[in-house]
């Protein structure tokens, strides 16, 4: 059984159907990417998995449990954490306070220090900024804070929404390396990313989404060499 199974999921904004019956799965230990153009429905898919946006119909099953109608808080407690598009660090709060917000559902307070130190192993630069207002950091540093904050909930499944958006090339490379490290340490990843080549390069499997539908699926390597994907998302260049 897959860790996450989405079956015939439909999501609407008023009269507009944003997700038109998609089905996908994520197996434990994988990095799975969802690529596609702006407006394809990728972020809506993640928000629905997280319990932020209600589903119109279909089902979301996580570790054998139907979470389609579960609250966002209970989904975090079950082991799913999302890093939102645009980072959304808490302005007026220090980096440390932002990280502690990621652990708000946890009761094992004694283990928080060890988990924070573990986050610093992935993101050493934010340890130097621990008492700084998170909103004053650079875009790349804010992305690291947002990812570290999500890890503080001890997720089994990490949802990443456009982690490289607006970042300098050096930070993009760092972020993708860290995603692989997090995955290798045991966290399953579902990744939305405009940088299709980078996403497919690190993904075990991937789905292509267009106007609310899944139109193509395969391994990361297969989609990197797909003529359709190259033409639409890789600038026509050979991967």
Task: Quick: pLDDT tens for 128-180.
Answer: 999 999 999 998 899 999 999 999 999 999 999 999 888 888 888 889 999 99
Strand partners, 218: 206
Which homologous superfamily does the CATH classification assign to the domain defined by 1-79+155-239? P-loop containing nucleotide triphosphate hydrolases (3.40.50.300)
pLDDT higher than threshold 80 for residue 73: yes
User: How many CB atoms within 10 Å of residue 177?
Assistant: 12
**Span 204-216, average pLDDT:** 96
pLDDT band at 239 (very low <50, low <70, confident <90, very high): very low
Tell me how far apart the alpha carbons of residues 147 and 48 are, in angstroms, rounded to a whole number. 19
The enclosing H or E element of 179 equals helix 169-184
Q: Give span(s): CATH 3.40.50.300, the chain.
A: 1-79+155-239
């Amino acid at each position: 059984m897959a860790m996450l199974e989405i079956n015939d999921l439909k999501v609407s904004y008023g009269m507009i159907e944003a997700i038109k019956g998609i089905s996908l799965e994520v197996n434990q230990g994988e990095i799975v990417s969802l690529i596609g153009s702006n407006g394809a429905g990728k972020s809506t898919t993640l928000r629905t998995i997280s319990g932020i946006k209600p589903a119109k119909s279909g089902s979301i099953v996580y570790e054998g449990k139907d979470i389609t109608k579960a609250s966002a808080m209970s989904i975090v407690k079950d082991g799913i954490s999302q890093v939102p598009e645009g980072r959304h660090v808490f302005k007026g709060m220090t980096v440390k306070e932002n990280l502690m917000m990621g652990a708000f559902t946890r009761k094992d307070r004694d283990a928080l220090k060890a988990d924070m130190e573990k986050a610093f192993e992935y993101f050493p630069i934010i340890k130097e900024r621990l008492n700084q207002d998170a909103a004053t950091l650079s875009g790349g540093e804010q992305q690291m804070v947002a990812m570290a904050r999500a890890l503080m909930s001890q997720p089994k499944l990490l949802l990443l929404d456009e982690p490289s958006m607006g970042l300098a090339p050096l930070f993009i490379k760092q972020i993708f390396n860290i995603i692989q490290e997090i995955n290798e340490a045991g966290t399953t990843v579902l990744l939305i990313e405009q940088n299709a080549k980078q996403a497919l390069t690190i993904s075990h499997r991937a789905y292509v989404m267009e106007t609310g539908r899944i139109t193509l699926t395969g391994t990361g390597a297969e989609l990197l060499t797909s003529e359709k994907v190259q033409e639409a998302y890789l600038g026509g260049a050979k991967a």
